[in-house]
Amino acid sequence: MVPLQLLLLVMIMKVCGGSRVTDSHTERPRIKRYAINPVGHKWTHHNITYRIIKFPNTLNADDTRKAISIAFTKWSDVSPLTFCEVTDGNATADITIGFYTFNHTDCWSSPLHPCFDGLNGELAHAFLPPRGEIHFDNHEFWILGKSRFSWKQGVWLNDLVQVAAHEIGHALGLWHSRDPQALMHPNATYTGQRNVAQDDIWGIQRLYGCLDKKRVCDPWARLGFCERRKTFMKKNCPQRCDLCFEPLEAVATPTPPPANVKIKMVPRGKVVGFRCGTKNPRSPPKVSWYKDGEQILTSIPGYIIMKGRDLRIVANEFNEGVYTCRIHRRGDIISANSWAIRLKPEEPSNS
């Protein structure tokens, strides 16, 4: 059996440079851009507790608690989840939060738990459920307020609310979104996005469902508010009006595999390997891997192992799908290969 700690994926949030990212397709029909971790990890209960076990050097305890509380509220406002801080040092909590420097806990011994890199660069990272840990780089200058550059100190002052809200999304089971307006977009730190966007709401509600916020939802629905005041009812009575999720026609369908891709039936638990392209030591190309159109950004030990031209998966319900490798050179895709993997039906037991 694979140890539990090897099944945990660390989500890393970095400061991204370059030009501001904008959405040039805002007038086109909305498509699904959020990503739920392919392993399917999520909390099995809705009343989630958290505890701050190590505070930052640049922000007092009261403001730290306030910032973290605001960040959690952004998710409780759009989902059935509730969050409560545990202050008793002896009590356990679902999610633990700490501010650390280079070497913290087990980062030197685990490839899934990177050490921090000092001032600037990586700000924080989080672990999927059920591990429930969020780590912030204590070399950074954390503040309660919007991120800005301090000319007096010569450093960036980082908005703890914004970064914490992004990392909480990972600790609840979300991956990075492709929507540049989303809080879960990897460039959210650079763009300054502080609030959950519609794409984030769709993602969290896909994991945990939604609850009506008002007791008068039934009378409002009978008055026709579901159709005439859709935005208002989506905020207050999404369950009553069946507005929890985006319409099915707005969800991007994965690109079908090429006609020459054969479906391979694999027994549950078998390790399946793929190799992308041929080895070229003189000019090694860049290789990217995709599952059902979503890019695989990192390995998930116990499920998906990605190393250069090679990809290995363990056949199970989460890993069924179409795997595609693309070879890039000088920014162009020079070749692509796809494999369709399906679970072989298990034979009924004779007992």
**Residues acting as catalytic residues:** 167
Is 249 in a helix, a strand, or coil? helix
d(CA 306, CA 247): 34
Number of H helices and E strands in the chain, helices first, is 7, 17
d(CA 163, CA 168): 9
Query: Which residue has tokens 């990890």?
Result: 41
d(CA 104, CA 84): 25
Is 69 in a helix, a strand, or coil? helix
Which of 231-265 are b and which e, b meaning 16 or more Cβ less than 10 Å from the residue's Cβ? eebbebbbebbebbbbeeeeeeeeeebeeeeeeee
d(CA 76, CA 68): 13
- The contacts of residue 287 (CB under 8 Å, 6+ apart) are 276, 277, 308, 309, 325, 326, 327, 328
Residue type, 2: V
Closest CA to 219 of 235, 240, 234: 240
Q: How many angstroms separate the Cα of 341 from the Cα of each of 50, 206, 268, 278, 314?
A: 39, 24, 11, 22, 11
